[in-house]
Structure 1
Amino acid sequence: MSMSLFLGETCMLERLGKMFSGRQEERKDNTFDQAGIIPHHVAVIMDGNGRWAKKRNLPRVAGHHQGMKTVKDVVKAADEIGVGVLTMYAFSTENWKRPKDEVEFLMKLPQEFLSTELVELVERNVRIRMIGSREGLPSHTLKALIEAEEKTKNNTGLQLNFALNYGGRDEILKATKEIAQLIAQGKLTPEQIDEETIASHLYTQGIPEPDLLIRTSGEIRISNFMLWQLAYTEFWFTDVYWPDFSREHFVQAIAEYQGRARRYGAV
């Protein structure tokens, strides 16, 4: 093996190791290029609330409550940095399997968050949207979200999406059934189906695909989140638990994103 080939393979292995280790290289500063490209759509898998609480001998719900405060900080940071769309993975279709008291607490969080933050969000010109299945959600949760959507529907600033009762497979299954029904009704032919057809039947209809995905807590997976939409998204993982995630971490992710070359399959 030639020395150049050996060094090339070594470099590739190092890059793969960093990619799948769950750890990002620490930057010497937490700044980003304000004149550089800002990701238009940032999606976040907020993970680690329970482990954050366990580490402090607190109940899991304490971690969720602290995590809600982090949501406020990240929304503010995204708005000020110039992100156009921010999607927060709040509750998956699999999360119903958790203990009943924890699920009930999680279903109260949207109402609590919006009751305290909606006025400021309106002042910030933020538009709120829920993505996910509305079936099965408690009436108080759904009512709070619908009211927030209605009050912010004409806002033109940051679009804040809460993925609630959301699952990527469920979303694709829903889209498939709707398209099949259109074919059965003679309103669509199989030949007419393309990517836009499928996208128009997803919960995220009209929302651009994420440019950057952030996942906290050290886990390296997407957990049934935006399976269709993440095809060319840049991923950024951190070991930091969600309640400890800060504006500085968010800026670090933006800076890392700015240092990457997005080729979309080209060279």
Structure 2
Amino acid sequence: MESSRSPAADEPASARKPDAGRQQIPSAGGAPTHLAVVLDGNRRWAAARGLSPAEGYEEGARRFFELVGWSEEAGVDTLTVWALSADNLRRPQNELAGLLAVITEVVESLIAHGHRRIRHLGRGETLPSSLRTVFEQAVAATSAAAGMTVNIAVGYDGRAEIADAVHALVSDLGCQTAAPALRRDWEQLITERLYTCGQPDPDLIIRTSGEQRLSGFLLWQSVWSEYYFSDIPWPAFTRQDFDLALESYARRQRRFGQ
């Protein structure tokens, strides 16, 4: 677990110059196969500049598309971003409407490009019907895409994900759940019913804007994940900051509890 404490956290992205002596991002062999990012700090970034929350979300969306490109160049196979938690759905309606509109535009843009597989993480029934429909269209339209997988966590809660997986398991197995032979396989059976089923667990989780907590993000999948915390608010996060996170990850010795 590492934290990036930068004195330039409040500077605009253009003000932070790359360090000429610093190595570039590690090769694909040293990059995480599955990278997850908590896109935190959009509202704080906007407030510090006298902007509206909607403007912070819009700048965060622009940074998201850059993140997709950086990740592809680094050799990441699966990118998961946490854009909106289940708790965030209780924000004031006027603010939430702007954020949901930005998320809708992002998903529609990903559909238009078409070469990345899109998956929604979260309870779809908690989302407005229009956004739920857009996610369903995105999943269907990109299911056969050959590019990187992009998971977008919206209305996501880690405990709810595990509860949903257990509920699905009980429903699938019915009265067989008490069979001793099945109990040995419960961990795998639950894993196969998570929102991320069929995907590797995240190797590296990045959280921006100085918060050093999980907040329920990928609780089951992150048991062996590496963490990197950056003080930079998400809209100001640059390629340099991304490179630093991947370089930190590449230097670590992962033991997986051994």
Does the alignment reach a TM-score above 0.5? yes
Per mean C-alpha deviation after superposition, the further-off stretch among 222-231 and 20-29 is 20-29
1:35 and 1:140 map into 2 onto residues whose CA distance is 37
1:169 and 1:145 map into 2 onto residues whose CA distance is 22
2:105 and 2:160 map into 1 onto residues whose CA distance is 27
- 3-state DSSP of counterpart to 1:213: strand
Match of 2:159 in 1: 169
Instruction: Confirm or deny: 8 A CA contact 1:24 1:237 kept in the other structure.
Output: no
2:60 and 2:249 map into 1 onto residues whose CA distance is 24
Asked if residue 255 in structure 1 is aligned to residue 237 in structure 2, the reply is: no
Instruction: Confirm or deny: 8 A CA contact 1:131 1:166 kept in the other structure.
Output: yes
Match of 1:4 in 2: none
- 3-state DSSP of counterpart to 1:135: helix
Match of 1:46 in 2: 39
Structure 1 residue 102 displacement after superposition: 1.5
2:6 and 2:212 map into 1 onto residues whose CA distance is 12
Match of 1:15 in 2: none
Which entry has the higher C-alpha Rg, 1 or 2? Answer: 1
Structure 1 residue 110 displacement after superposition: 2.4
Match of 2:11 in 1: none
- 3-state DSSP of counterpart to 1:143: helix
Match of 1:127 in 2: 117
Residue number among 88, 100, 112 corresponding to 1:95 in the alignment: 88
Match of 2:134 in 1: 144
Structure 1 residue 36 displacement after superposition: 4.0
Residue number among 179, 193, 202 corresponding to 2:169 in the alignment: 179
Coordinate RMSD, CA, aligned:
2.1
Residue number among 240, 243, 256 corresponding to 2:235 in the alignment: 243
What is the correspondence of 1:14-53 to structure 2 with a 5 Å cutoff? 23=5, 29=22, 31-34=24-27, 36-53=29-46
Match of 1:63 in 2: 56
1:43 and 1:138 map into 2 onto residues whose CA distance is 25
Match of 1:85 in 2: 78
1:112 and 1:32 map into 2 onto residues whose CA distance is 30
Structure 1 residue 115 displacement after superposition: 3.2
2:25 and 2:216 map into 1 onto residues whose CA distance is 30
Instruction: Confirm or deny: 8 A CA contact 2:25 2:243 kept in the other structure.
Output: yes
Asked if residue 216 in structure 1 is aligned to residue 208 in structure 2, the reply is: yes
2:131 and 2:110 map into 1 onto residues whose CA distance is 15
2:130 and 2:91 map into 1 onto residues whose CA distance is 20
Asked if residue 107 in structure 1 is aligned to residue 89 in structure 2, the reply is: no
User: % of aligned pairs identical?
Assistant: 36
Instruction: Confirm or deny: 8 A CA contact 2:26 2:247 kept in the other structure.
Output: yes
Unaligned runs of at least 5 residues, structure 2: 8-17
Partner amino acid, structure 1, of 2:187: E
Structure 1 residue 56 displacement after superposition: 0.4
1:259 and 1:36 map into 2 onto residues whose CA distance is 12
Unaligned runs of at least 5 residues, structure 1: 1-18
Structure 1 residue 48 displacement after superposition: 0.3
Asked if residue 188 in structure 1 is aligned to residue 177 in structure 2, the reply is: yes
